[in-house]
Amino acid sequence: MEQLDMGITIIGCGSATPETLFDNQDMSQIVATSDEWIRTRTGIKTRHLASEDESLSECATQAAEKALAMAGITARELDLIILATSTPDDLFGSASQIQSRLGASRAVSFDLTAACSGFVFGLVTAAQFIRTGLYQNVLIIGADFLSRWVDWTNRSTCVLFGDGAGAVVCQGTYQQDRLLGFELRSDGSKNACLNLIYQGQCKSLNDEVSISQGCYQPLTMRGKEIYRFVMEKVPEVVEKALFRANLTSEQIDWLILHQANQRIINAVAQRLKIPQEKTIGNLAHYGNTSAASIPLALDEAVRLGKIQSEDIVAISGFGAGLSWGAVIFQWGR
Ligand code: ACO
């Protein structure tokens, strides 16, 4: 008898954001900007910001709990938890804190860092563990609190970001494989375009040995360069993923791009000949939530009933690294 390959299906999604809202009007009180500039250049109107006593693990756990509830499985049934983040509570990793908070005692957990591409990279990583038959139920969370790492005196960057978390539960299936195609890319030669870099000072331990002691510096970004890079590379990577899925852009029901800029979303959709009404965007309410942005937008669209069972969804993340990638999947079990 023919041995069937293990396929993947996304069986639940969830999201969570801190309560505090900070709109463009509030922003104009702290840096020289205006609601008009931010809205017309980016599409952002407001964003959620985490307060001092909120942790990333807590927000990510809330998103995960909602995804598990939709999936109809318990945390005990999880085999693996991947947390895509660049802003963990603990540099050694925050996934294990989420594992503990959820009570997912059987699951192994680790962090994955690929900035705004993190969720896409995490989903593809999860798929490999499922395809090999090693794990059955995998939770992938994209969560970032970049408000903790922007320079709040720099109007070019601080207006762009918001905090949040989104999650999906993937399951192995011998039925239909719903992860249809993907493509991941990196280009470290352009690393300096977007950094949240460690900077240290020399500390002598004795006459012969000195080490570096320091901390991470606020995020820096060359916005125009990234904009141009994204316009060239994102349509290309979506097309490559579509090719692997043996589909054309006309067959896409929904396009969810990393929510960095509404102008990027509109222009990429146009290049791919995907009508605006098939794009999903929630940038106005959340800003750029980095690794959280795609699962947050997916969750909203599913709960609003926009994305229906059997719909073909293309997601594409891009950002620091530079890194970028796309996944084509079919929603529903
Ligand atoms: N309010 C008012 N004026 C501003 C602001 C602001 N908040 N920010 C910048 N300006 C000014 C600049 O000083 C500049 O003024 P000048 O012409 O007098 O020098 C002018 O506006 C134009 O600035 P640009 O940076 O050229 O503006 P641009 O149209 O390129 O928009 C933006 C900037 C929104 C950042 C855009 O370049 C962009 O979206 N880039 C891509 C970002 C992205 O996708 N990042 C990847 C994901 S993030 C991650 O991985 C963490």
Domain ranges of the chain: 7-179, 180-189+220-330
Determine the pLDDT at residue 2.
Answer: 59
Q: Is 258 helix (H, G, I), strand (E, B) or coil?
A: coil
Instruction: Return the ligand 1 atom nearest residue 34 CA.
Output: 1
| Helix%, strand%, coil% for the chain, nearest 5 | 40, 30, 35
Which residue has the least CA distance to atom 37 on ligand 1?
223
Residue 5: the pLDDT is 83
307 lines ligand 1 (CB under 6 A): no
CA 328 to centroid of ligand 1, rounded, Å:
30
Q: What does the alpha-carbon distance between residue 6 and residue 157 come to, in Å, rounded to a whole number?
A: 43
- CA-atom Rg of the chain in angstroms: 20
Residue 121: pLDDT band with limits 50, 70, 90 = very high
- Which phi and psi (to 5°) does residue 281 adopt? -145, 135
Closest Cα to atom 29 of ligand 1: 41
Per-residue pLDDT at 280? 97
Q: Which of 29, 194, 224 to mutate to test the pocket of ligand 1 (most atoms within 8 A of CB)?
A: 224
- Catalytic annotation, residues: 116, 258, 288
Residue 117 CB less than 6 A away from ligand 1: no
Assess if CATH 3.40.47.10 describes domain 7-179. yes
> Mean pLDDT across the chain, nearest whole number?
97
- Convert the pLDDT of each residue in 237-264 to its tens digit: 999 999 999 999 999 999 999 999 999 9
pLDDT average, residue stretch 60-88 = 98
Atom of ligand 1 nearest to the CA of 115: 50
| Mean pLDDT across 92-115 | 98
Give the CA distances from residue 124 to residues 55, 121, 200, 217, 263, in Å, rounded to whole numbers and listed in that order: 26, 5, 34, 30, 27
The verdict on the CB of residue 158 being under 6 Å from ligand 1 is: no
Q: With beta carbons less than 8 A apart as the criterion, state whether 325 and 124 touch.
A: yes
pLDDT digits (tens, 9 = 90+) for 3-53: 568 999 999 999 999 999 999 999 999 999 999 999 999 999 999 999 999
Binding site membership of 42 for ligand 1 (Cβ less than 6 Å):
yes
CA of 86 to the centre of ligand 1 (A): 21
Say yes or no to pLDDT of 266 above 90.
Answer: yes
Domain 180-189+220-330: give its CATH superfamily: Thiolase/Chalcone synthase (3.40.47.10)
* pLDDT of amino acid 3: 58
Percentage of the chain lying above the pLDDT 90 cut: 98
Of all protein residues, the one whose alpha carbon is nearest to atom 26 of ligand 1 is 224
Closest of 274, 227, 234, 236 to residue 255, by C-alpha: 274
In this structure, the residue with its CA closest to atom 39 of ligand 1 is 261
CA 166 from chain centre, in angstroms, equals 8
Cβ(240) – ligand 1 distance below 6 Å:
no
Q: 316: Cβ below 6 Å to ligand 1?
A: no
Q: 5 versus 231: which is more confidently predicted?
A: 231
Q: Which atom of ligand 1 lies nearest, measured to the CA of 263? A: 39
Q: What is the pLDDT of residue 48?
A: 98
Per-residue model confidence as pLDDT tens digits over 196-223:
999 999 999 999 999 999 999 999 999 9
